[in-house]
């Protein structure tokens, strides 16, 4: 018999060879993810019964910030369209809900899908310039939107006192099930439910054919168009979905903080930067990254906003925390970006890959020759 190795033999051996870190073609230790998911779910459900109202309010802020960062992640991380104007879509959702509740007497829960649709439509309109420009030019256009939004809102929205500020009453955002949950607990579960729903939708979207098209447009736009992907449609769709996520986050912010405010001309620009920070620090083009980034951002904000917290005391700046907060945040961002350029989730994945690589035995090559001697 011949000992010659053919190309078919090589391809067959490669097909049968297990992937690095895999066991018989399956993901390593799949039960770990299931156990982690169950533990997280139990902790999330038990959390509102074990902490006070003020910390629970902070957790709600983490949740809606994670939704906004996930929306930006879909656009910038997965699709490659740079935006620093998502604060405007956040504001659209916030004022859509606030106007319907304060001026038209809607129940707040009914306004959330409306806020998503309105913000998504505005995002689709804003996607039209994205079909012609990209990169820094698109970033400048979205930046202009974030700066322009408070000006337009101030002109057309008049709250009490004639300013662009709407404040729903406590009864308008109260619990629908007062016998089961307090107002703060109810708001937490609404935010948690929407986070779970929207993140599952994002995960399923990126696993679908549409998601692969979104990534293909980011990586090779010309090549994607040559294989039949409608690049314009993908960009508009991604922009609209991304804006809808930000609109839901804005609506939830009114639900939690009971205010929609456009009196500060820079507030939505600042929010846009915060969404970008949460996405980058957590890990762009990941599903869990926005949550991790939102937790990090809120923790840093709390540490720098309160002079009695640990970090200001450690640095000896208790009396100047408000002035030094941006500097402290900037310094931490520089260090984290330098040490973990792929974000916290990306850094964890690298450590996990190295650990699995060290424990996984090298696969034994399949025999492709006849062992019978000549």
Q: Which residues pair with 221 in a beta bridge?
A: none
Q: Of 291 and 305, which is predicted with more confidence?
A: 291
Q: How many domains does the chain have?
A: 1
Joined tokens for residue 57: 């309010």
* Cβ burial, residue 242 (10 Å; 0-12/13-18/19+): buried
Residue 163 lies in a domain: yes
Joined tokens for residue 179: 């016998």
The proportion of the chain whose per-residue pLDDT surpasses 90, expressed as a percent, equals 56
Joined tokens for residue 340: 């973990």
Domain span at residue 198? 53-298
pLDDT recorded at residue 54? 85
Question: Would you say 269 and 160 are in contact if contact means Cβ atoms under 8 Å apart?
Answer: no
Residue 146 lies in a domain: yes
Q: DSSP letter string over 302-371?
A: HHHH-TTSHHHHHHT-GGGHHHHHHHHHHHHHHHHHHH-TTHHHHHHHHHHHHHHHHHSPPPPPPP-S--
Residue 13 lies in a domain: no
pLDDT in tens, 155-177: 999 887 788 999 999 999 999 99
Q: Evaluate the CA torsion angle 102, 104, 107, 108 in order and state its sign.
A: negative
Question: Would you say 179 and 187 are in contact if contact means Cβ atoms under 8 Å apart?
Answer: no
pTM of the model: 0.83
Residue 27 lies in a domain: no
Mean pLDDT of 181-188: 93
* Residue 190 to residue 98: CA distance in whole angstroms: 17
* Residue 271 to residue 92: CA distance in whole angstroms: 13
Q: How many CB atoms lie within 10 A of CB 4?
A: 9
What sections of 157-230 are H helices per DSSP?
Answer: 183-207, 209-219, 221-226
Residue 350 lies in a domain: no
* Residue 365 to residue 374: CA distance in whole angstroms: 22
Name the residue with tokens 């304060």: 102
Question: Would you say 184 and 255 are in contact if contact means Cβ atoms under 8 Å apart?
Answer: no
Residue 151 lies in a domain: yes
pLDDT in tens, 83-113: 999 999 999 999 999 999 999 999 999 999 9
Strands 165-166 and 260-261, sheet pairing: antiparallel
Name the residue with tokens 């003020």: 54
Mean pLDDT of 306-321: 49
Name the residue with tokens 């035995």: 361
User: Is pLDDT at 232 greater than 90 in this prediction?
Assistant: yes
The closest of 208, 219, 199 to 79, measured between CA atoms, is: 219
CATH code: domain of residue 261? 1.10.3470
Question: Would you say 87 and 268 are in contact if contact means Cβ atoms under 8 Å apart?
Answer: yes
The closest of 10, 120, 139, 87 to 260, measured between CA atoms, is: 87
* Residue 43 to residue 171: CA distance in whole angstroms: 29
Q: Evaluate the CA torsion angle 279, 283, 285, 289 in order and state its sign.
A: negative
For residue 87, the surrounding DSSP H or E stretch is helix 86-102
pLDDT recorded at residue 22? 38
* Residue 304 to residue 317: CA distance in whole angstroms: 10
Residue 348 lies in a domain: no
* Residue 332 to residue 300: CA distance in whole angstroms: 9
* Residue 64 to residue 93: CA distance in whole angstroms: 12
pLDDT recorded at residue 328? 67
Q: What is the 3-state secondary structure (H, E, C) of 153-191?
A: HHHHCCCHHHCCEECCCHHHHCCCCCCCCCHHHHHHHHH
Binned at pLDDT 50, 70 and 90, residue 303 comes out as low
Residue 28 lies in a domain: no
Q: Of 284 and 356, which is predicted with more confidence?
A: 284
* Residue 61 to residue 367: CA distance in whole angstroms: 58
Name the residue with tokens 């609506």: 251
The closest of 309, 337, 335 to 321, measured between CA atoms, is: 309
The proportion of the chain whose per-residue pLDDT surpasses 70, expressed as a percent, equals 80
* End-to-end C-alpha distance for the chain, whole angstroms: 7
């Amino acid at each position: 018999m011949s000992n010659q190795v053919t190309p078919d033999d090589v391809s067959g051996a490669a097909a049968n060879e297990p992937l690095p870190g895999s066991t018989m073609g399956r993901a390593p230790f799949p039960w770990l993810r299931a156990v982690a998911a169950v533990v997280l779910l139990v902790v999330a459900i038990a959390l509102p019964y074990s902490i006070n109202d003020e910390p629970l309010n902070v957790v709600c802020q983490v949740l809606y910030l994670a939704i906004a960062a996930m929306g930006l992640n879909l656009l910038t991380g997965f699709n490659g369209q740079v935006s620093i104007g998502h604060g405007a879509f956040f504001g659209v959702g916030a004022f859509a809900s606030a106007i319907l509740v304060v001026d038209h007497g809607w129940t707040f829960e009914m306004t959330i899908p409306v806020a998503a649709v309105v913000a998504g439509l505005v995002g689709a309109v804003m996607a039209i310039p994205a079909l012609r420009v990209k990169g820094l030019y698109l970033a400048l256009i979205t930046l202009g939107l974030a700066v322009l939004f408070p000006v337009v809102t101030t002109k057309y929205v008049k709250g009490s006192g004639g300013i662009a500020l709407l404040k729903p009453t406590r009864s308008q955002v109260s619990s629908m099930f007062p016998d089961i949950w307090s107002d703060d607990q109810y708001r937490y579960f609404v935010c948690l439910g929407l986070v779970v729903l929207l993140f599952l939708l994002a995960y399923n979207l990126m696993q679908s054919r549409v998601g692969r098209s979104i990534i293909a447009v980011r990586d090779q736009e010309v090549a994607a168009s040559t294989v039949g992907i409608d690049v314009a449609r993908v960009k508009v769709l991604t922009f609209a979905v991304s804006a809808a996520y930000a609109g839901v986050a804005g609506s939830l912010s009114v639900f939690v903080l009971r205010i929609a405010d456009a009196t500060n001309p820079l507030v939505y620009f600042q929010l846009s930067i915060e969404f970008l920070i949460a996405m980058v620090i957590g890990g762009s083009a990941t599903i869990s990254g926005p949550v991790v980034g939102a937790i990090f951002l809120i923790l840093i904000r709390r540490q720098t906003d309160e002079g009695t917290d640990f970090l200001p005391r450690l640095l000896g700046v208790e009396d100047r925390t408000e002035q030094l907060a941006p500097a402290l945040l900037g310094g931490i961002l520089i260090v984290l970006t330098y040490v973990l350029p792929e974000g916290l989730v990306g850094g964890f994945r690298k450590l996990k890959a190295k650990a699995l690589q060290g424990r996984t035995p090298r696969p034994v090559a399949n025999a492709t020759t006849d062992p019978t001697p000549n």
